[in-house]
Structure 1
């Protein structure tokens, strides 16, 4: 961890909603005029789209444990750790982009599903902001979490997480429900060993809990809305939050434990900004002194 060049990471599994939290962070950066280097977790996958399909097929044919984007075999944990460490030491490092679709790929004159070349990150930034699967990952050869100054987890209950993934992958990416279900099952070992342990290393977790029936996520017809949910917000250390002020400002919120506040789902964005803006400003202020 670094006082001089802060690293802030949002971590959550596929379909968990980290992009929503990323938007709240970007509001804070823009409002407080902070220059942030944005790093996407997909940039640190080991394989491009075509190579990943082949690697998955090969691992399944070998009768061994299939690889997945959740585990170390398909990711560059060591390079992500090196980036966080180098940025923390001197504000530099290298990253790249994963081009998800033709629109993103067109300016690079590459095809979708490939990576841009590794390039140095811009100098003169206030902080590095990571959003992806592995902001708090650990493996036998890397400890990404070690170099993060503020680690935030986005963790819907697992049935809601699966509903969100199924809807995203079927509606936006053209997969069948059966194909998405197969992916969920194939990833389960890595999910248990490399995704969920991160949420015991986070400084703050935002966990969305629906108030409607999600008993069978594989037949759900729609995603529960934020207004049909509560958000359970857990702090590693209670002193990180001004609970009386939060309870006063966020209507219908309540404390469920000494380090946990529960807010209505529709107030999630508000809660994120109220909680994280002071922490981010404190980290940046310390880095400048």
Structure 2
């Protein structure tokens, strides 16, 4: 970890809602005039769209129906760790982007002065901009480990944030997002969930024991069968359970005073109404960012 060049990692499964946390950080960065180098987790996959499909088909042919984007075979865990370490040591590193859509392809082609980038591929690697205050990662594997290869990205992370809805709610969000944004049927998304499950258990969930703060949304409506849910529970139909790994020094009285209808459920756990999730994130994270930048200056 590095006081001079801090690394922040926001990590969560597909459909967990890490974008909400990213927006909260963006608001803080803007208000505090913090210049962040942003790293997208998708860019650290090891296979582009076509290569992944081919690899998944080959694994299935050989009897392995659990090849997924969640595991080390489809990701550069070692590059995530190398990126975090290099930035912490020098304030610089290389990054690339995964091209999600034709619109992004057009933008990246302009940026890299290319013509052949298309949806589903990676851009070339490039140096991040100089003079950044911190590195901000958002994706699946911000605190990933692979004990077989001695990889532990989390040891270079100064602030790790987990975004972890209860699993049925996470699945509802994923099913609806995949249908709305990608045109996938519910059946196709369920197949993806089943294929990913072993890697989800081995490589995704253990990260949330290593994070500094977890935000877990818990619905207050029936989600017993997530595969038939007609809509996603609204923020007002949920609570957010916020767990601090180390409660020492956390100003809980201030947070309880600032966040209406919040309460403590344990000595290290704050519970807030779902509709106050973004507000609570900024109340909690802004002082941490301020302290991080002050330590950097020192």
Alignment partner of 1:251: what SS?
Answer: coil
Query: Following TM superposition, where does structure 1 have runs of at least 4 consecutive aligned residues deviating by more than 4 angstroms?
Result: none
The aligned counterpart of 2:76 is 76
The aligned counterpart of 2:44 is 44
CA displacement at 1:170 relative to structure 2: 1.0
Alignment partner of 2:85: what SS?
Answer: helix
CA displacement at 1:240 relative to structure 2: 4.5
Deviations for 1:11-69, whole angstroms, at most 9, x for unmatched residues? 00000000111000000000000000000000000011111111111111111353111
CA displacement at 1:84 relative to structure 2: 0.2
Asked whether 1:98 is paired with 2:107, we answer: no
Asked whether 1:168 is paired with 2:177, we answer: yes
The 10-residue stretch of structure 1 (100-109 or 29-38) with the greater mean CA deviation from structure 2:
100-109
Alignment partner of 1:222: what SS?
Answer: coil
TM-score by length of 2: 0.96
| Contact in 1 for aligned 2:102/2:119 (Cα 8 Å) | yes
Counting only pairs closer than 5 Å after superposition, residues 174-213 of structure 1 correspond to structure 2 as 174-213=183-222
Deviations for 1:109-140, whole angstroms, at most 9, x for unmatched residues? 31101110011111100000000000011012
Alpha-carbon spacing, 1:44–1:240, altered in 2? closer, same or farther (3 Å) = farther
Paired residues in the alignment total 289
Alpha-carbon spacing, 1:123–1:159, altered in 2? closer, same or farther (3 Å) = same
CA distance in 2, matches of 1:240, 1:48: 44
CA distance in 2, matches of 1:181, 1:90: 43
Stretches of structure 1 lacking an aligned partner (at least 5 in a row) = none
CA displacement at 1:287 relative to structure 2: 1.4
CA displacement at 1:152 relative to structure 2: 0.3
The aligned counterpart of 2:144 is 137
CA distance in 2, matches of 1:240, 1:279: 11
Stretches of structure 2 lacking an aligned partner (at least 5 in a row) = 110-114
CA distance in 2, matches of 1:22, 1:263: 19
CA distance in 1, matches of 2:68, 2:155: 23
| Contact in 1 for aligned 2:66/2:197 (Cα 8 Å) | no
TM-score by length of 1: 0.99
The 10-residue stretch of structure 1 (35-44 or 101-110) with the greater mean CA deviation from structure 2:
101-110
Asked whether 1:157 is paired with 2:142, we answer: no
How well do the aligned residues superpose, as a CA RMSD in angstroms? 0.8
| Contact in 2 for aligned 1:241/1:275 (Cα 8 Å) | no
Match of 2:131 among 124, 132, 137: 124
| Contact in 2 for aligned 1:9/1:130 (Cα 8 Å) | yes
CA distance in 2, matches of 1:117, 1:167: 32
CA distance in 2, matches of 1:35, 1:128: 9
CA distance in 1, matches of 2:50, 2:66: 16
CA displacement at 1:241 relative to structure 2: 2.1
CA distance in 1, matches of 2:247, 2:78: 32
The aligned counterpart of 2:257 is 248
| Contact in 2 for aligned 1:255/1:261 (Cα 8 Å) | yes
The aligned counterpart of 1:257 is 266
CA distance in 2, matches of 1:92, 1:129: 12
The aligned counterpart of 1:27 is 27
